Chain A
Amino acid sequence: MQYIIRLEWFIILVLLQVLVLNHIHFEQYATPLFYIYFLLKIDSDNSRKGLMLWAFSLGLCIDIFSNTPGLNAATAVCTAFCRPWILRLFSLRDITDNFEPGMYQMGFASFFRYTIVLVLLHAFILNILDTFSLANMPTLLLKIASDTIITLIFILCVDSVRRKK
């Protein structure tokens, strides 16, 4: 049952990303990378390997639609790889059992820090791999920062709406 729900989220997020969000270039720069919400929300007791396999298939699906084979896959795998460390860093010490990362379970401050670090990491790797040069440093940094901010806004909005349910 849990897998079916997760698969639904997977398909919805891929379609949302490739049909809507990839076409948003707010002020020429910011593109929401909302699909990593899927990686953020996977339960904390999932193994790192499972997480990376989910991330790889998610990234590859996005890539197939946006003509960038491997780009999002490489980035998502890296984000998934780092997630357990970052989650342990920002979640409260006494939570040892399984939980789904979110505002309700972690508190706003912890969740905010956890999200911003992962989103920043993701945007950083994605943009570095995409441009593959450091020639235009200011543009690159601006793109990373704007992607991070707009993705963060999306994730915080959606998570706060889901929490109320």
Chain B
Amino acid sequence: MRNLLNFLLKYNHWFLFVLLEVISLTLLFRFNNYQGSAFFTSANYLAGIVYEASSQVTRYFDLTEVNKDLTARNVELEIEVERLSQALEQYTQDTTGVANLRKEALKDYVLYDARVVNNSITHPNNFITIDKGEADGIRPEMGVVCGNGVVGIVYLTGKHHAIVLPVLNSKSSISCKIKRTSYFGFLKWEGGSSQYAYVKDMPRHSEFSLGDTIVTSGHSAVFPAGIPVGTVDDMEDSHDGLSYLLKVKLFTDFARLNNVRVLGSFNGTEQAQLEDSIHSMQP
């Protein structure tokens, strides 16, 4: 007994070492599927404050670039508006028609503006922190977009901050389709460059050509149909040879993300419940 006690006393630093390592590794491995662990991430209140203060300073640095982007986007949109209103004029002379059409498209969604306060693009699993949280109406599973295209899906929410699972995370999977022909697959990122991702499970008989635009499919309530994702850059066979794998150049520049919009859906829960009930019915 005395020897055992001596042994324990002599090597007690080993026990502390093992204890601390176990705590750390438990945190590390449980974070990936443990939704409640928002405390140990930057959705935490204190970390949120520090990041917000730092982004107050740093967000001015790339205003020139943001401005240039916005101007380009503005011009694009103006041309689009011009073209659409001309097309619309041919179909209807009724001026209330335009207003109704716009209401129809965003009828099911409410938009929240948010600012990115922390962002990474080089890890195998990246996360984005935004400065809006539960108190502002943000809930997990909401879609996030920016001016250029799709960004990701809200993962964890704190009171005033939320963590977004962007396309640049191996767990992210977003349903999307080829705009021209409507064949659909899902968008995955496999590490490497932050400008490219892959569309998987594209059927072998699908028609597309390099340079085609990829948009969200609207099959889930997270994103409405037609939000731009990227353009087809390259194609290859999938590993099992049953489908195509499309390399997509993303429209969103994740390295320079600043202002984003969160899409809250009115009908999402109903659709999710329906789909869940189907999955639980199957053996």
Which residues of A approach B to under 8 Å, CB–CB? Answer: 15, 18-19, 22, 25, 28, 31, 47-49, 52-53, 56, 59-60, 63-71, 73-74, 77-78, 81, 129-131, 136
B208 on the A face (CB < 8 A) = no
Across the A-B interface, the 10 shortest Cβ-Cβ residue pairs: A70-B28, A70-B27, A74-B24, A69-B40, A73-B24, A70-B24, A69-B27, A77-B20, A48-B13, A67-B127
Q: How far is the CA of A71 from the CA of B31 in the complex (A)?
A: 11
With A19-B54, A28-B122 as given contacts, are A73 and B16 in contact (CB-CB < 8 Å)?
no
Q: How far is the CA of A108 from the CA of B6 in the complex (A)?
A: 40
Which residues of B approach A to under 8 Å, CB–CB? Answer: 12-13, 16-17, 20-21, 23-29, 31, 37, 40-42, 44, 47, 50-51, 54, 118, 120, 122-124, 127, 129, 163, 191
With A64-B47, A65-B47, A67-B129 as given contacts, are A77 and B17 in contact (CB-CB < 8 Å)?
yes
Q: Is B26 a contact partner of A70 (Cβ separation < 8 A)?
A: yes
Beyond A63-B27, A67-B41, A70-B24, 5 extra complex contacts between A and B, CB < 8 Å: A47-B13, A52-B20, A60-B40, A65-B47, A67-B129
Name the contact of B28 in the complex, choosing from A48, A68, A131 (C-beta under 8 A): A68
Residues from chain B with Cβ under 8 Å of A129 in the complex: 28
Name the contact of A130 in the complex, choosing from B21, B42, B124 (C-beta under 8 A): B124
Q: How far is the CA of A78 from the CA of B20 in the complex (A)?
A: 9
Residues from chain B with Cβ under 8 Å of A67 in the complex: 41-42, 118, 120, 127, 129, 163
Q: How far is the CA of A131 from the CA of B122 in the complex (A)?
A: 11
With A65-B50, A69-B40, A131-B124 as given contacts, are A52 and B17 in contact (CB-CB < 8 Å)?
yes
Residues from chain B with Cβ under 8 Å of A66 in the complex: 42, 120
Q: Is A63 a contact partner of B40 (Cβ separation < 8 A)?
A: yes
How many pairs of residues, A versus B, come closer than 8 Å at their CB atoms? 88
Residues from chain A with Cβ under 8 Å of B118 in the complex: 65, 67
Q: Is B41 a contact partner of A64 (Cβ separation < 8 A)?
A: yes
Residues from chain A with Cβ under 8 Å of B23 in the complex: 56, 70, 73
Residues from chain A with Cβ under 8 Å of B122 in the complex: 25, 28, 31
Residues from chain A with Cβ under 8 Å of B28 in the complex: 68-71, 74, 129
With A19-B54, A130-B124 as given contacts, are A69 and B17 in contact (CB-CB < 8 Å)?
no
Q: How far is the CA of A53 from the CA of B163 in the complex (A)?
A: 29
Q: Is A49 a contact partner of B129 (Cβ separation < 8 A)?
A: no
Q: How far is the CA of A63 from the CA of B25 in the complex (A)?
A: 12
Q: Is A65 a contact partner of B20 (Cβ separation < 8 A)?
A: no
Residues from chain B with Cβ under 8 Å of A56 in the complex: 20, 23-24
Q: Is B12 a contact partner of A49 (Cβ separation < 8 A)?
A: yes
B121 vs chain A, min Cβ distance (A)? 8
The residue of chain B having its C-beta at the shortest distance from the C-beta of A63 within the complex is B40
Residues from chain B with Cβ under 8 Å of A71 in the complex: 24, 28
Residues from chain B with Cβ under 8 Å of A68 in the complex: 28, 31, 123
The residue of chain B having its C-beta at the shortest distance from the C-beta of A135 within the complex is B191
The residue of chain B having its C-beta at the shortest distance from the C-beta of A133 within the complex is B124
Q: How far is the CA of A56 from the CA of B120 in the complex (A)?
A: 23
* Interface core residue of B16, B29, B54 (most chain A CB under 10 Å): B16
Q: Is B51 a contact partner of A65 (Cβ separation < 8 A)?
A: yes
Residues from chain B with Cβ under 8 Å of A48 in the complex: 13
Name the contact of B31 in the complex, choosing from A25, A28, A69, A136 (C-beta under 8 A): A69
